[in-house]
Amino acid sequence: MELVEKAGSGIKRIRRLAKKDNIRVEFKTGMFFEVVFYRKIRSKPEVNPKQIRSKSDKQAREKWILDYQIENEVIKTLDIMNQFSVAKDTAARDLRSLIKQNKIIRKGGGNNVWYVLKNEESKNEN
């Protein structure tokens, strides 16, 4: 067909990388050319470590959030996500929990939201 520079030049590379990562790969030819990658079946603990958290992790995150705010005054969801490698929903849940505990206040709106300590807010108003 003269569309391929060198037939099969990427197949060796695919096979080598698949073998390195222990992934089963299958090449099918016929009217079309197909490459089939087979997923690894993962055990439960490997599925999503972000979802396997204990209450002590939540307490540790909340303590870190409050300590971080003492030093930096302001915290954003992204700060928590980066520190603990958790999903945005988890970080937001921790922040909502601290709001319910009356420890922090939400400021801003839309994509520009940040949180401050409750006692810092009262200092800034005076």
Q: How confident is the model at residue 1 (pLDDT cuts 50, 70, 90)?
A: very low
Residues with Cβ within 8 Å of 103's Cβ and at least 6 positions away in sequence, in order, are 66, 117, 118
Whether residue 106 sits in one domain with residue 71? yes
For 6-111, list the strands marked E by DSSP.
24-28, 34-38, 74-75, 104-109
Whether residue 66 sits in one domain with residue 25? no
Percent of residues, the chain, with pLDDT higher than 90: 33
Range of the domain at 20: 11-43
* Interval 49-70: pLDDT, tens: 555 455 568 888 999 999 999 9
Q: What is the CATH number of the domain that holds 107?
A: 1.10.10.10
